[in-house]
Structure formats: C-alpha cells, structure tokens
C-alpha cells in the first residue's frame, strides 16, 4: 500500500517559518515529479510548488516565489517545503502529491496518482 505522510504543520505567527515534510512508504519517490498543493477553507486546491524527479527543476506559484523552497532527498524518500515569511493567507491544509503527468497539476486531489492526508498550517497572531 502506498502512503504519503505529511508533517510539520502547526500554528505560527505572521512572518514566521515552517518546514513541511512528506515521507513516502510503498513507493520510491525518485520515480516521480512531486508537488505541494494546498487548500484553504472554502477555496479550491491550489498548486504551490513542484520538483522534478531528479530535483534539478523546481517551479513555484507566484505567491510562493521568494518565500517557499521545495526540496527532496531521494535517499530518504522525502520531499520538503520550507516556508518563510508566512502570511495569514497561507493558512491552509498542505498536501504532497505525485501527479500522473509531469507539469499537469489538477485542482482535485483525487486526480493525482498519490497524495497524503495533509498537514494543517495556520498563520495567525
């Protein structure tokens, strides 16, 4: 059984930092482009960042550029998201996921090949 498990979400003050981690079991992440997506209350699924299978290509949503950094450690089978200068509008459930097709990021979680249960990030003073 394939499992992706996100961790690291918590309550943080505006301007703070968090590092989210995604650990995989049952698959080797090295074979997949991986993404982080998020869903805020009452809103749709939003792509945050993606990283190629080898880690050489990273892409970010405009709101994430300069603040978030996606990385992966294929030896540890993990994908991380470092988030700095967090804002209240970053409040959301964050998910790691593996898309079926490189560069195609659906707006529904169940249209990804694999996804985790999510980790909640709340940015508030």
Name the residue among 6, 8, 1, 10 with its Cα closest to residue 109: 6
In this prediction, residue 103 carries a pLDDT of 92
- Measure the CA–CA gap between 42 and 13, rounded to whole angstroms: 22
Model confidence pLDDT, tens digit, residues 37-51: 999 999 999 999 999
In this prediction, residue 107 carries a pLDDT of 93
In this prediction, residue 14 carries a pLDDT of 98
The b/e string for 76-101 (b: 16+ C-beta within 10 A; e otherwise) is ebbbbbebeebeeebbbbbbbbbbee
Residue 61, phi then psi, degrees to nearest 5: -65, 150
Model confidence pLDDT, tens digit, residues 17-36: 999 999 999 999 999 999 99
In this prediction, residue 65 carries a pLDDT of 98
Q: What is the DSSP letter of 95?
A: E
Model confidence pLDDT, tens digit, residues 59-115: 999 999 999 999 999 999 999 999 999 999 999 999 999 999 999 999 999 999 999
In this prediction, residue 2 carries a pLDDT of 87
Q: How far is CA 28 from CA 24, 45, 66, 90, in A?
A: 7, 25, 29, 29
Give the residues across from 6 on adjacent strands: 22
In this prediction, residue 32 carries a pLDDT of 94
């Amino acid at each position: 059984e394939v499992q992706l498990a996100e961790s690291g979400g918590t309550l943080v003050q505006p301007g703070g930092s968090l590092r989210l981690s995604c650990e995989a079991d049952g698959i080797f992440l090295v074979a997949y482009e991986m993404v982080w997506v998020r869903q805020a209350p009452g809103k749709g699924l939003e792509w945050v960042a993606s990283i190629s299978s080898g880690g050489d290509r990273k892409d970010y949503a405009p709101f994430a550029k300069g603040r978030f950094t996606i990385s992966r450690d294929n030896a540890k089978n993990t994908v991380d998201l470092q988030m700095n200068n967090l804002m209240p509008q970053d409040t959301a459930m964050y998910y790691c996921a593996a898309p079926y097709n490189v560069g195609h990021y659906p707006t529904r979680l169940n249209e990804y090949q694999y996804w985790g249960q999510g980790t909640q990030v709340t940015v508030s003073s």
